[in-house]
Chain A
């Protein structure tokens, strides 16, 4: 009797799972956009009944999974190079933008007071500028009192897209950095200590006097960390804000023919925040049926998801970029 019940309920679960599976989009990859994708998925499910099953296993895993075609789409914080896209028969487009913000713990300073040039930032992370009252920093921050004491650099200890964006930025603005360290999801840091995850870095920066670190924009904002004003490509000192990220994204030269391969760092424009990055979606070209489902979801998100994204402190794509992506889909016959 009992056994029969168990058997029946198992059968029921199996049947309902297969029924649901017909209307499920499977995706895997980057951890950074996971909160916004799942918020979109929740609303999308409510409106259309289609479920999105997204596993945040990390960008590296996302790329591997879509290459093996075990998922409908992969997600990566680092764009896949055009040559690799061709080799693996993949389509690629950006879906959401995030920024990286240097944060500090300097006595007496609040957010936006400390100004840094790209060169100074690179020198601090290289360990060449090692105190806050270094003349090179005082020259940028005239009239600001900066204490003495050694700067402690805090970086991510785990491999992450945030580090990839940040080190790509440093490599772009500093030849020294490019030569000595380079860019990647984890690099051989010349100075400082490592914290695990955004929370690890934020925790050290808060605790260690005279520390500087870098975290995702959302994390800096939610935790009211002391961010710095950075000088952008046009020579302006800007605060990290939604507008500054949107300006960066709108000013960048996105190229659909290269699968939108672009690092959103050191973007031109007076108001652009210089350290940002898009999170990308990857599709297998030879699976149009699955791709159409994925594209439908992201089209819906582009139309209805901006408010949700901003509430979670993600930066939605600018309209011009969304339009470009829609015609990219159309050209590939999946929209």
Chain B
């Protein structure tokens, strides 16, 4: 016969075990629920966008919708080409400005910056990311646009504007409300994303590698070019993708300085429109059903674009990690 105390302890242990199992189950269910919520929300958004845009999809089809530049609410002729064009051009231009600048910032902070400035510079860049986009918009309208319109753009017209072919990019009256100003603001907004991620990945380069390179007589440029950069390629790429997602979807900052004009502008000094700008400007006062459906259709296209961009980036990163 076992001592009486033994089975008693065992009972308590079993009860404890049961409670533990129970807690575990609840915990698992909760986290599972939380994770599924994300999926449910994404699928839900997609379905409701598709449902709401159905009338426009039926009326305009896909290829006709994305190839028509006209946006005429009065006569109910809607096409996404002008908004799509604006979205792509502002994003590409913003990336072209932001990527070199951000990588320069990251290199300076990690490789050359005197110690006492390092912290301050890093924080300043991260603070840039914390500024709400509406403030960028107001600043853009009241401060940057006049500077661009009065100084920068006339200067560009007098210099690059004189070059054949390239010059047509800077034709027209410089007003400061145009693709160039919008892209400049966008680039300032996305610089912190690329710069801080690039800085972190640069810092991940093992000190041993760097010092070995210096030891065999490499210059600072050679170390950065041949050791640090290859080591951090995929990290930088990730930062660029995040920044691109942000640029594609940015609304308030560009809404103020892009002019919401539905045209395929040849010059960077022309007003244009992006998908988000069109939505922000026109959603509240869209009165006809077809108008509303076309706006939803635009939103659906943006949703698909962002999704595909991220998916492609994930895929590329995965492939790279494999090789």
Chain A residues engaging chain B, CB cutoff 8 angstroms:
31, 57-61, 63, 78, 150, 152, 157-161, 181-189, 193-196, 200, 203-204, 207-208
- Is there contact, CB below 8 Å, between B74 and A183? yes
| Separation of A114 and B280 alpha carbons in the complex (Å) | 35
Task: Output the nearest chain A residue to B150 by Cβ-Cβ distance.
Answer: A207
Task: Output the nearest chain A residue to B145 by Cβ-Cβ distance.
Answer: A207
- Is there contact, CB below 8 Å, between B260 and A158? yes
Q: How large is the interface on B (under 10, 10 to 19, 20 to 34, 35 or more residues)?
A: 20 to 34
4 cross-chain pairs, A with B, having the tightest CB-CB distances, nearest first: A159-B285, A58-B284, A157-B260, A182-B74
Instruction: Say yes or no: A159-B282 contact (C-beta < 8 A), given A60-B287, A185-B287, A200-B141.
Output: yes
- Is there contact, CB below 8 Å, between B287 and A203? no
- Is there contact, CB below 8 Å, between B260 and A204? no
Is B286 part of the binding interface, using a Cβ–Cβ cutoff of 8 Å? yes
Q: Which listed residue, A61, A63, A182, A189, touches B75 by the CB 8 Å rule?
A: A182
Contact with A along B70-83 (1 / 0, CB 8 A): 11111100000000
List B contacts of A159 (CB < 8 A): 73, 281-282, 284-286
| Separation of A160 and B260 alpha carbons in the complex (Å) | 14
List A contacts of B255 (CB < 8 A): 157, 196
- Is there contact, CB below 8 Å, between A200 and B256? yes
Q: Please count the residue pairs between chain A and chain B whose beta carbons lie under 8 angstroms apart in the complex.
A: 85
| Separation of A316 and B286 alpha carbons in the complex (Å) | 28
- Is there contact, CB below 8 Å, between A60 and B71? no
List A contacts of B73 (CB < 8 A): 159, 184-188
Is B271 part of the binding interface, using a Cβ–Cβ cutoff of 8 Å? yes
List B contacts of A150 (CB < 8 A): 173
- Is there contact, CB below 8 Å, between A188 and B281? no
Q: 29 A-B residue contacts at CB 8 Å?
A: A59-B285, A60-B284, A60-B286, A60-B287, A61-B284, A63-B287, A157-B255, A159-B284, A159-B285, A159-B286, A160-B285, A181-B74, A182-B74, A182-B75, A184-B73, A185-B285, A186-B281, A186-B285, A187-B74, A188-B72, A188-B73, A193-B175, A193-B261, A193-B271, A194-B261, A195-B259, A196-B255, A196-B256, A203-B142
List A contacts of B281 (CB < 8 A): 157-159, 186, 196
Is B105 part of the binding interface, using a Cβ–Cβ cutoff of 8 Å? no
Chain B residues engaging chain A, CB cutoff 8 angstroms:
70-75, 141-142, 146, 149, 173, 175-177, 255-256, 259-262, 271, 280-282, 284-287
Tell me, rounded to whole Å, the shortest Cβ–Cβ distance linking A49 to chain B: 32
List B contacts of A57 (CB < 8 A): 284
Task: Output the nearest chain A residue to B76 by Cβ-Cβ distance.
Answer: A184
- Is there contact, CB below 8 Å, between B142 and A193? no
Task: Output the nearest chain B residue to A204 by Cβ-Cβ distance.
Answer: B177
Task: Output the nearest chain B residue to A184 by Cβ-Cβ distance.
Answer: B74
> Assuming A63-B287, A185-B285, A193-B177, what are 11 further A-B pairs, CB within 8 angstroms?
A59-B285, A59-B287, A152-B175, A159-B284, A184-B74, A186-B73, A187-B74, A188-B73, A194-B271, A200-B141, A208-B175
| Separation of A230 and B177 alpha carbons in the complex (Å) | 29
Instruction: Say yes or no: A194-B70 contact (C-beta < 8 A), given A59-B285, A161-B285.
Output: no
| Separation of A34 and B72 alpha carbons in the complex (Å) | 28
Task: Output the nearest chain A residue to B261 by Cβ-Cβ distance.
Answer: A194
Task: Output the nearest chain B residue to A161 by Cβ-Cβ distance.
Answer: B285
List A contacts of B175 (CB < 8 A): 152, 193, 204, 208
- Is there contact, CB below 8 Å, between A157 and B287? no
- Is there contact, CB below 8 Å, between A58 and B285? yes
Task: Output the nearest chain B residue to A61 by Cβ-Cβ distance.
Answer: B284
- Is there contact, CB below 8 Å, between B262 and A188? yes
B73, B173, B259: most-surrounded residue (chain A CB, <10 A): B259
List A contacts of B173 (CB < 8 A): 150, 152
| Separation of A196 and B140 alpha carbons in the complex (Å) | 13
Task: Output the nearest chain A residue to B252 by Cβ-Cβ distance.
Answer: A196
- Is there contact, CB below 8 Å, between B256 and A207? no
| Separation of A75 and B260 alpha carbons in the complex (Å) | 26
Tell me, rounded to whole Å, the shortest Cβ–Cβ distance linking B261 to chain A: 6
Tell me, rounded to whole Å, the shortest Cβ–Cβ distance linking A85 to chain B: 15
List A contacts of B262 (CB < 8 A): 188
Tell me, rounded to whole Å, the shortest Cβ–Cβ distance linking B49 to chain A: 18
Tell me, rounded to whole Å, the shortest Cβ–Cβ distance linking A194 to chain B: 5
Tell me, rounded to whole Å, the shortest Cβ–Cβ distance linking B147 to chain A: 11
| Separation of A303 and B244 alpha carbons in the complex (Å) | 57
- Is there contact, CB below 8 Å, between A203 and B74? no
Task: Output the nearest chain A residue to B72 by Cβ-Cβ distance.
Answer: A188
| Separation of A233 and B10 alpha carbons in the complex (Å) | 100
| Separation of A158 and B255 alpha carbons in the complex (Å) | 9
| Separation of A58 and B283 alpha carbons in the complex (Å) | 9
| Separation of A200 and B176 alpha carbons in the complex (Å) | 13
List B contacts of A182 (CB < 8 A): 74-75
Task: Output the nearest chain A residue to B178 by Cβ-Cβ distance.
Answer: A193
Tell me, rounded to whole Å, the shortest Cβ–Cβ distance linking A77 to chain B: 9
| Separation of A160 and B73 alpha carbons in the complex (Å) | 12
B173, B261, B287: most-surrounded residue (chain A CB, <10 A): B287
| Separation of A208 and B177 alpha carbons in the complex (Å) | 11
Tell me, rounded to whole Å, the shortest Cβ–Cβ distance linking A157 to chain B: 3
Tell me, rounded to whole Å, the shortest Cβ–Cβ distance linking A305 to chain B: 26
List B contacts of A181 (CB < 8 A): 74
A159, A182, A195: most-surrounded residue (chain B CB, <10 A): A159
- Is there contact, CB below 8 Å, between B259 and A207? no
- Is there contact, CB below 8 Å, between B261 and A157? yes
List B contacts of A204 (CB < 8 A): 175, 177
Tell me, rounded to whole Å, the shortest Cβ–Cβ distance linking A319 to chain B: 32
| Separation of A211 and B160 alpha carbons in the complex (Å) | 27
- Is there contact, CB below 8 Å, between A188 and B74? yes
Task: Output the nearest chain B residue to A158 by Cβ-Cβ distance.
Answer: B281
List A contacts of B176 (CB < 8 A): 207
- Is there contact, CB below 8 Å, between A207 and B149? yes
Tell me, rounded to whole Å, the shortest Cβ–Cβ distance linking A133 to chain B: 18
Tell me, rounded to whole Å, the shortest Cβ–Cβ distance linking A318 to chain B: 28
| Separation of A176 and B177 alpha carbons in the complex (Å) | 29
Instruction: Say yes or no: A158-B282 contact (C-beta < 8 A), given A184-B73, A188-B74.
Output: yes
